[in-house]
A and B are shown apart, each in its own frame.
Chain A
Amino acid sequence: MDDNNDRIRPTEAQLKARRSRNIALALALVAFVFLVYFGSIFKLGPAVFNRPF
């Protein structure tokens, strides 16, 4: 029995939907990184550098 028969072949619609979700997820992650970075800078102000080593 060919192993390939067990694989699920995505349809064109499924591939397109997955691409759309991946792009949205990437954008959301990048936005969240910026949000935390700039949020921390503005929340802590100059004290952001005043950390114990």
Chain B
Amino acid sequence: MKSDMAVAQREQMLDHTARLSEATAGDFVSLLKPRVMSLVIFTAFVGQILAPGSLNPILAFIATLCIAVGAGAAGALNMWYDADIDAVMARTAKRPVPDGKITPNEALAFGIILSVFSVATLGLMANWLAGALLAFTIFFYAVIYTMWLKRWTPQNIVIGGASGALPPVVGWAATSGTVSLESIVLFLIIFLWTPPHFWALALFKSGDYERAGVPMMPNVAGEASTKRQIFVYSILVAVSGVLPAALGFASLYYGVVAAALGIGFIWYAWRVMVVDDATMKPAKSLFGFSVLYLFAIFAALLVEAIVTRVGA
């Protein structure tokens, strides 16, 4: 009996200490949240291009890479900490940690190592303001949002949205060495865009969040209140979108495009508020449009900056 227990204990120990990993390189790549990373790369790149001054193209490439890897590292730390709730949500159950492909400790080590290397490299290759801002972004996402806000308050993604909004500021700082009003406007656009984007998702995935015990707005304040708040934020998004033209660092052409996109955003949010559809089709449409909106706004700023530089 005693020897049976000893064998069982030894097998259990071997299972924990000497388990050979079946995680492929692709599993580690998926820890970096590649889809989120693509938006981070794009907005950070636009911030770099819009900023005054110039950075050698090779150094600019390295800076973008560092910001992308830093954002990915924050994603890995998020997946390490949130493995328990990811496991009960259909949308996230197949992530490598809850799926058992990568152990939590591997995800933690991967996230910390990439965080340190991305911040240090950005600091050395661009400047230390950009490095410090990237470190703050990772800290805000992994600690303030993931460990504190996400499970505590329905305002989680409102405040936590700051981490997703910082990449263009980091990009701007990498090129110019400063943080100016223009970069804060870029921050504001993404910061105000985040709540309607995630609440639209939460409306048609509220069961997922409820099961995981995450206090998203639809579970806490109810659908009607969430829809009203989405509509209010959509107005703020539309206003923030035209700010670059109003403040004079983008042209009237950009202003017209941003205003049209903003009106579209408000229209989709209006439909979410007034159309009573059990299938949540309006919320799904708003979610899709919100992704398009952010991409289009930053693409318009990028195109204008390139055209201006080529024409100069």
**A17 engages B28 (CB within 8 Å):** no
What A residues does B58 contact at CB under 8 A?
38-39, 42
Asked if A4 is at the interface (CB within 8 A of a chain B CB), the reply is no
Q: A39: which of B18, B24, B117, B125 is its contact (CB, 8 Å)?
A: B125
**A8 engages B22 (CB within 8 Å):** no
What B residues does A13 contact at CB under 8 A?
22
Asked if B219 is at the interface (CB within 8 A of a chain A CB), the reply is no
What A residues does B23 contact at CB under 8 A?
17, 21
Given contacts A38-B58, A39-B59, contact A14 B20 (CB under 8 A): yes
**A18 engages B59 (CB within 8 Å):** no
Say which size band chain A's interface belongs to.
Answer: 10 to 19
Given contacts A42-B56, A42-B58, A43-B59, contact A35 B24 (CB under 8 A): no
Q: A20: which of B24, B59, B121, B124 is its contact (CB, 8 Å)?
A: B24
Minimal beta-carbon separation of B88 from chain A (angstroms): 26
Minimal beta-carbon separation of A11 from chain B (angstroms): 8
**A18 engages B21 (CB within 8 Å):** yes
Say which size band chain B's interface belongs to.
Answer: 10 to 19
Minimal beta-carbon separation of A5 from chain B (angstroms): 12
For chain A residues 1-47, which have a beta carbon within 8 Å of chain B?
8, 10-11, 13-14, 16-18, 20-21, 23-24, 32, 35-36, 38-39, 42-43
A8-B18, A21-B28, A24-B25 known; 12 other A-B pairs, CB under 8 Å? A14-B20, A14-B22, A17-B21, A20-B25, A21-B21, A21-B24, A32-B117, A35-B121, A39-B58, A39-B125, A42-B56, A42-B59
A-B contact pairs, 15 of them (CB 8 A): A11-B20, A14-B21, A17-B21, A17-B24, A18-B20, A20-B24, A20-B25, A20-B26, A21-B23, A23-B25, A24-B28, A35-B65, A39-B58, A39-B121, A43-B59
- The chain A residues found within 8 Å of chain B, CB to CB, are 8, 10-11, 13-14, 16-18, 20-21, 23-24, 32, 35-36, 38-39, 42-43
Q: Which are the 9 A-B pairs with shortest beta-carbon distances?
A: A24-B25, A20-B24, A14-B20, A39-B125, A42-B58, A20-B25, A17-B22, A42-B56, A17-B24
